[in-house]
Structure 1
Amino acid sequence: MLRRVAMASCVGTTVEWYDFFVYATAAALVFNKLFFPQFDPLVGSLVALGTYAAGFIARPVGGLVFGYVGDRLGRKKALVTTLLIVGIATFVIGLMPTYAAIGLAAPIILICIRMLHGFGIGGEQGNAILIVCEHAPAEKRGFYGSLVQIGAPAGFIIPLGLFALLTATMTDDVFLDWGWRLPFLVSILLIGIGLYIRVNLSESPLFASAHQHKGPRPSMVAMLTKHTRGILLGWGAKLCESSIFSIYAVMISAYAVNRGIPKSLMTTAILIAIVIEVVTLPLFGALSDRIGRRTVYMLGSVMTILLAFPVFGLVYYDVRGLIWLGLVGALAVGHAAMYAPQAAFFAELFPTSVRATGVAIVQQFGALIGTIFGFGAGWLLQVGNGTPWLLAGFVAFTGVVTTVSVFLMYESAPRHATASAVAFH
């Protein structure tokens, strides 16, 4: 059952992140032309990408709602519901009329659907982590928790591959007419697969035990008051991880293209790094079981600090043969070493009765803060007159904040847990 739960959570999370990121890819390629044609091309592209960012705003709301559902009704019910929300919303985009057909209603509906994406993903992530971590044996919780995290990079890769295939095999007119809809319509098949897997999961044994022996449940205010330290440090731990993914997976490509580096080269380099990250995530997850969550997490944040200026330097000085290697270090090592132990680390901050809510607060509000900081830091390129050093300094700064935050957190891996860590029961 543990292997089935781990595989189901990995597949289900991949499906939901696919739905989340397929929108981002389409926003960069076609939405400015189909839903925001009243703007000039550059402004239309920015507005389209702005609707992508809207999904991050809705994530904390979904996290709180489905954190409550997960703690009161069960992790499994929350996961089935979020999969339906995100999947159906994605499928509907594939059927939507464009601005040419229904005018201003088209972009308004698109933004509303994007908010549903964020709402569903916000509720899904914490519960997917918990149903695995609460099934896993204590000594392997880091490894099994990291399998859930594979869904994000895998969900990022698949839509990129699909859109690359479609643009390579279709004319621009055909792609703009109906080809762009196919990756959205395909989601209905993925929903069916993910739903079948999740419906056949067993509920978390820790939740089932806690639910059977109901006691007074703490209020939200009481929970926040009791776990204030863990939540604040968790946000600090999340800052670097969520910021650098936005910067290295999205922003650095735009900067490189502006400096004359082919977009295809940057896309290939980013894909190589993310594919390798799919492999390194479970390795770092397993390592966190052996040497501790904090040690592995700080390895990632320190690596981020050390690589910030070299990675941007490779782009600035146009060292094309090594850009991919810099991104592998930044994403497949730096980011992965933080993201892999994060599932178990954050789950171990809270007791079972409030764990889904607690993890949602740390994960989703932390992701919102990190994403706003990450995308907002793009203006540093303009302040630096086109040089990347201020932005690289920002990346290093987030690494310092995360390193200090993680250092101040209690070690929770069973082999190395400190006396102050919350008992996982």
Structure 2
Amino acid sequence: MTESLKSPLPPDSAIPETTNRRKLRRVAAASSIGTTIEFYDFFVYGIAAALVFPAVFFPGTDPATGTIASFAIFAVAFFARPVGAALFGHFGDRIGRKRTLVWTLLIMGLATVAIGLLPGYSSGVFGFFTGGIGIWAPALLVSMRFLQGFAVGGEWAGATLLTAEYAPQGQRGRYAVFPQLGPAFAFFLASGTFLAVALTVGDRSAAFLEYGWRIPFILSFALVGVGLWVRLTVEETPVFTAQLELDGKSDRISKGIPFFDVIRDQWREVLLAAGALASLFSLFYMGTSFLTSYGSSMNLGRPFILGMGMVAAVVFGVSTAVSAVWSDRIGRRRLILVSCGLAVPWSLALFPLLDTGSRSAFAVGLLGTLIIFGVAYGPAGALLPELFHARHRYTGAGLAYNLAGILGGAIPPILAAKLIVSGPTIFVGVMLSALSAVSVLCTMAMSETKDREIQP
């Protein structure tokens, strides 16, 4: 790191010694519950985009075009995420992690509930707009999807900082795993909720298309209430508090603008981290969203696809946890490099495997994809906070993470949907493999961070 990252304060290992176990458990719960809710909201859209949105919001198109349109709107959120990262990062670096995270949770929850209440293109909802609202339906869907991405852009960095800045020195990977487990919990809940609805009203029934798919979105309201209650009980991180004291201010930590500061001082870290994590995102969103659509086109049945999603979520969570804890011993960079390296040949083999059309091939493809993703995702929760100075850590970590989301999570599913229609599926594998190769190079260019102090 540069000299500017050295601190006149004691090492960050001294801070948690005054923090009791009860406080640490509360922080872990707040970060995990928050990311679970945020990603649950994110995933229910991905599942709905694969299963029902082509029929609900694009009824005049053929199935392939409707799927492409649904995933194009899915990508809107990824382009909104850097905007959220910059804005919420600004306030997170100025007024604190805790207060900023309350707002991200509220915005995400309200946008998700609103999607569940939207009328379809030609059908109403709960007796209202019985004739549909036409083109306004997908337009409103785009708006709510933008708000979802906007909120997630500020959520992840704040949640990881909440744990990383409380964690004892040498155990940052272990503590940072809690927000990293949120996506696994969320994928399990999202798949399970859709599965329960499909089994109750019938996965191919008119009731599922009319109101069944809305239930998982509306249930988000209850989850947000729980998340807010937990988050409001958490104190501000000791590192942020120390930064306030160091600057001798009570309301902000820097006269500069965090976004411009991080671009000026640590642009290299932002770009390398974004490139290194792009493979991670491509595996994750291809596995959790696109493969749901692909499995549906193979007529594997929604209950089977959603059930496999729940199994994969458990396996993915285990690989994330093991990798995060292990990264405290062997380093973050090495594990991310292993994941990206495995992703290169795996991406080439994935679609030929899926094209056999069997349920066992789909299961192996889904599980393998999320296991490789988990190997990199676990250490990422500690890696990004360790890369950036406390003055702009929220902004820097959020920008790197969400730029990776555009490269790996927004573009590949759209291109994959088009490639599936226009050519052999192996082209999708070539695209993913090439992206993983770029991530390998970026990871090799990074330095190890596990022994760095993150004190201001």
TM-score for both structures, normalised by structure 1: 0.90
1:250 to 2:289 alignment? yes
Moved more, 104-113 or 233-242: 104-113
Moved more, 372-381 or 362-371: 372-381
Corresponding residue for 1:366?
A: 404
**Residue identity matched to 1:133:** A
Tell me, in whole angstroms, the C-alpha distance in 2 between the residues paired with 1:98 and 1:116. 19
Q: Are the counterparts in 1 of residues 192 and 307 from structure 2 also a CA contact under 8 Å? A: no
Tell me, in whole angstroms, the C-alpha distance in 1 between the residues paired with 2:168 and 2:156. 20
1:190-239 Cα offsets, whole Å, 9 max, x none, are 11100000011111110111123326544433431221221111111111
How far is the alpha carbon of 1:257 from its aligned partner?
5.5
Corresponding residue for 2:194?
A: 163
Corresponding residue for 1:402?
A: 439
Moved more, 315-324 or 19-28: 315-324
Cα distance change, pair 186–264 in 1 and its aligned pair in 2 (3 A): closer
Structure 1 vs Structure 2 CA RMSD: 2.4
1:21 to 43, 49, 54: 43
Corresponding residue for 1:347?
A: 385
Moved more, 261-270 or 225-234: 261-270
1:271-306 Cα offsets, whole Å, 9 max, x none, are 432320112211110000011111111121122224
Q: Are the counterparts in 2 of residues 89 and 113 from structure 1 also a CA contact under 8 Å? A: yes
Q: Are the counterparts in 1 of residues 187 and 310 from structure 2 also a CA contact under 8 Å? A: no
1:136-183 Cα offsets, whole Å, 9 max, x none, are 112111121122111112212212211121122115233333333222
Equivalent runs, 1:270-349 vs 2, <5 Å: 270-318=309-357, 320-332=359-371, 334-349=372-387
Tell me, in whole angstroms, the C-alpha distance in 2 between the residues paired with 1:262 and 1:164. 11
Q: Are the counterparts in 2 of residues 314 and 320 from structure 1 also a CA contact under 8 Å? A: no
2:55 to 30, 33, 43: 33
1:197 to 2:230 alignment? yes
Equivalent runs, 1:11-410 vs 2, <5 Å: 11-100=33-122, 101=129, 102-171=133-202, 172-214=205-247, 216-219=254-257, 220-255=259-294, 266-318=305-357, 320-332=359-371, 334-378=372-416, 379-381=418-420, 385-388=423-426, 390-410=427-447
How far is the alpha carbon of 1:126 from its aligned partner?
0.7
1:373-420 Cα offsets, whole Å, 9 max, x none, are 42244144456x4242x3323322222221221122111102xx5xxx
Cα distance change, pair 94–321 in 1 and its aligned pair in 2 (3 A): closer
How far is the alpha carbon of 1:59 from its aligned partner?
0.9
Tell me, in whole angstroms, the C-alpha distance in 2 between the residues paired with 1:377 and 1:91. 29
**Residue identity matched to 1:200:** T
Cα distance change, pair 50–387 in 1 and its aligned pair in 2 (3 A): closer
**Residue identity matched to 1:329:** G
Tell me, in whole angstroms, the C-alpha distance in 1 between the residues paired with 2:254 and 2:152. 29
Q: Are the counterparts in 1 of residues 287 and 370 from structure 2 also a CA contact under 8 Å? A: yes
Secondary structure of residue in 1 paired with 2:404: helix
Tell me, in whole angstroms, the C-alpha distance in 2 between the residues paired with 1:404 and 1:55. 27
Cα distance change, pair 44–310 in 1 and its aligned pair in 2 (3 A): closer
Q: Are the counterparts in 1 of residues 337 and 443 from structure 2 also a CA contact under 8 Å? A: yes
**Residue identity matched to 2:332:** R
Q: Are the counterparts in 2 of residues 130 and 356 from structure 1 also a CA contact under 8 Å? A: yes
Moved more, 164-173 or 313-322: 313-322
Q: Are the counterparts in 1 of residues 336 and 443 from structure 2 also a CA contact under 8 Å? A: yes
Tell me, in whole angstroms, the C-alpha distance in 2 between the residues paired with 1:382 and 1:189. 39
**Residue identity matched to 1:177:** E
Runs of 5+ in structure 1 lacking a partner?
A: none
**Residue identity matched to 2:410:** I
**Residue identity matched to 2:272:** L
Moved more, 190-199 or 265-274: 265-274
Runs of 5+ in structure 2 lacking a partner?
A: 1-22, 123-128, 248-252
Moved more, 163-172 or 30-39: 30-39
Count of residue correspondences: 416
Moved more, 56-65 or 26-35: 26-35
TM-score for both structures, normalised by structure 2: 0.84
Moved more, 93-102 or 159-168: 93-102
How far is the alpha carbon of 1:113 from its aligned partner?
1.2
Q: Are the counterparts in 1 of residues 192 and 306 from structure 2 also a CA contact under 8 Å? A: no
Cα distance change, pair 319–267 in 1 and its aligned pair in 2 (3 A): same
